[in-house]
Amino acid sequence: MPDRALIFANGDINDGRMVRRALDGARDGTFVIAADGGARIARHYGLPIDLVIGDMDSISADDLNALAANGVTVERFPVHKNETDLELALNRAVENGARWIRVVGGLGDRLDQTLSNVYLLALPALQGVDAALVAGNSETRLLLPGESTVSGAAGDTVSLIPLSGIARGVRTENLYYPLNDEDLLFGPARGVSNVMTGETARVSFREGTLLLVHTLGRA
């Protein structure tokens, strides 16, 4: 089974260098999933789809029939369900063996949908999986206690945003504004718009959850 998955959500295309980096990382054999109307985003990038999953309320019947006629697997769910289409896609990717997942099209003009898509990174199924949302020049991932590495270039922008109350004991290396065993609180923007001073940066903390947004270049 493929250990990599690309998921196209039904948001904005938001093309950019980080999106292209994610597409380049999807080597042959990558499992390509469209979450309902995300098939539109996949078509924009010219990628063949393996699976369309969701309640099919944002994709036309003609498009769905055309995909099915080309051998694409279709998994239809009821409109009245507990999970969003992207949540179904993420869970299916993991069930299919993916250990590397990139979501394209996860941001859009609905703040509630965008926030819920970001929060899906906390799904239990994604623990231990290299999962991120990519849009434009930015990549968003969830950090759990321990040490994490950010790979990029000097001048890249890194933001650390606590999601679950207080992130305790945050330490950073190779960031212009260092954090030395400090707490980041839910609310204040203390960890936003830091700058990498080398090709890699490190973040470690003892407790809580951090959202890491890595933007190529100065944001």
Total structural domains in the chain?
2
In terms of domains, do 19 and 87 share one?
yes
Output phi, psi for 17, to 5 deg.
-65, -35
| Distance from C-alpha of 43 to C-alpha of 59, rounded to nearest angstrom | 12
Determine which helix (DSSP H) or strand (DSSP E) holds 130, and give its type and residue range: strand 130-135
CA atoms within 13 A on the CB side of 207: 7
Answer whether residue 26 shows pLDDT above 90: no
Among 96, 112, 136, residue at a domain's last position = 136
Q: What residues make up the domain containing 131?
A: 4-136
In terms of domains, do 106 and 48 share one?
yes
Q: Which residues contact 213 (CB under 8 A, 6 or more apart)?
A: 138, 139, 140, 157, 158, 159, 161
In terms of domains, do 121 and 39 share one?
yes
* Lowest mean pLDDT segment, chosen from 23-27, 47-51, 120-124, 180-184: 23-27
| Distance from C-alpha of 74 to C-alpha of 139, rounded to nearest angstrom | 28
| Distance from C-alpha of 89 to C-alpha of 43, rounded to nearest angstrom | 17
| Distance from C-alpha of 152 to C-alpha of 66, rounded to nearest angstrom | 40
Average pLDDT of the chain is 95
125-145: average pLDDT: 97
In terms of domains, do 123 and 15 share one?
yes
The band of 27, judged by pLDDT with boundaries at 50, 70 and 90, is confident
Percent of the residues in the chain that have a pLDDT greater than 70, as a whole number: 100
Percent of the residues in the chain that have a pLDDT greater than 90, as a whole number: 94
172-193: average pLDDT: 96
Q: What is the pLDDT of residue 1?
A: 66
Q: What is the pLDDT of residue 3?
A: 93
Q: Which residues contact 111 (CB under 8 A, 6 or more apart)?
A: none
Among 118, 136, 154, residue at a domain's last position = 136
**Residue 213 in contact with residue 194, Cβ under 8 Å?**
no
* pLDDT digit string, tens, across residues 66-106: 999 999 999 999 999 999 999 999 999 999 999 999 999 99
49-64: average pLDDT: 95
Query: Which of 115, 135, 126 has the alpha carbon at shortest distance from 93?
Result: 126
* pLDDT digit string, tens, across residues 141-165: 999 999 999 999 999 999 999 998 8
Is pLDDT larger for residue 165 or for residue 180?
Answer: 180
The band of 124, judged by pLDDT with boundaries at 50, 70 and 90, is very high
Output phi, psi for 91, to 5 deg.
-65, -40
112-125: average pLDDT: 96
In terms of domains, do 35 and 82 share one?
yes
CATH at residue 21:
3.40.50.10240
8-13: average pLDDT: 95
| Distance from C-alpha of 180 to C-alpha of 177, rounded to nearest angstrom | 10
Lateral strand order in the sheet of 194-195: 73-76, 51-54, 31-35, 4-8, 100-104, 130-135, 138-143, 210-215, 157-162, 194-195
Query: Which of 126, 56, 138, 59 has the alpha carbon at shortest distance from 94?
Result: 126
In terms of domains, do 86 and 153 share one?
no
In terms of domains, do 121 and 43 share one?
yes
Among 113, 136, 159, residue at a domain's last position = 136
In terms of domains, do 80 and 13 share one?
yes
CATH at residue 205:
2.60.120.320
